[in-house]
Structure 1
């Protein structure tokens, strides 16, 4: 499981990240093409403020072992500046793994054009 921080995001722009899963011992890329991937972003009150999933296409699998999400600037504009918890889970058949427990800092965007 990964724990840590994502790069800072703006609440006036898209937020997109891609993660490549590799085997820790061999370095081989892990095939996740048959997996369900979900992501939840929570505020400091424990409320879910953003969600993404391979179920609805908001998380994609663009390359072998890679999953990617993108939240639009409209979705991000609903976030107040601050720190948010991020969780990612991956599932296949009846097995679910908590892949990521991390944080993202959201800053107030500055361009009003």
Structure 2
């Protein structure tokens, strides 16, 4: 499980991140095509402000062992500048693993053109 900080994002731009899962022993990418992946971003009151999932296509699997989320500029514009909690889980059948527990700082975008 990864814990820590994600790179800051702007509330006036899209936010796209890709995560690659690699087997520590072999160095090979881990096959995740049959897995369900979910992501939640919560504000300081613990309320979800962004969610993504492989169920609805907001998390995609662009290549073996890699998942990616993509929030639009419109979705990001609803976030006030500040610190948010982020969690990502992956599941298959009845097994659930917490992949990430972290934080992200959302910055006020400057360019308004």
How far apart, CA to CA, are the structure 2 residues paired with 1:95 and 1:6? 25
Partner of 1:28: 28
Kindly provide the CA deviation profile for residues 45-93 of structure 1, in whole angstroms up to 9, marking residues without a partner as x: 1000000000000000000000000000000001000010000000001
Match in the other structure for 2:94: 94
Question: What CA RMSD, in Å, does the superposition of the two structures yield over aligned residues?
Answer: 0.6
Aligned-partner SS, 1:61: strand
Structure 1: gaps spanning 5 or more residues: none
Quote the Cα distance in structure 2 between the aligned partners of 1:76 and 1:34.
Answer: 29
- Does the residue aligned with 1:33 lie in a helix, a strand or coil? coil
Which 4+ stretches in 1 moved above 3 angstroms?
A: none
Match of 1:54 in 2: 54
- Calculate the TM-score normalised by the size of structure 2: 0.98
2:38 pairs with 1:4: no
Distance in 1 (CA, whole Å) between partners of 2:94 and 2:28 is 24
Q: Which stretches in structure 2 are left out of the alignment for 5+ residues?
A: none
Give the Cα–Cα distance (whole angstroms) in 1 for the partners of residues 33 and 105 of structure 2: 30
- Describe how 1:51-90 pairs up with structure 2 within 5 A: 51-90=51-90
Number of aligned residue pairs: give it: 113
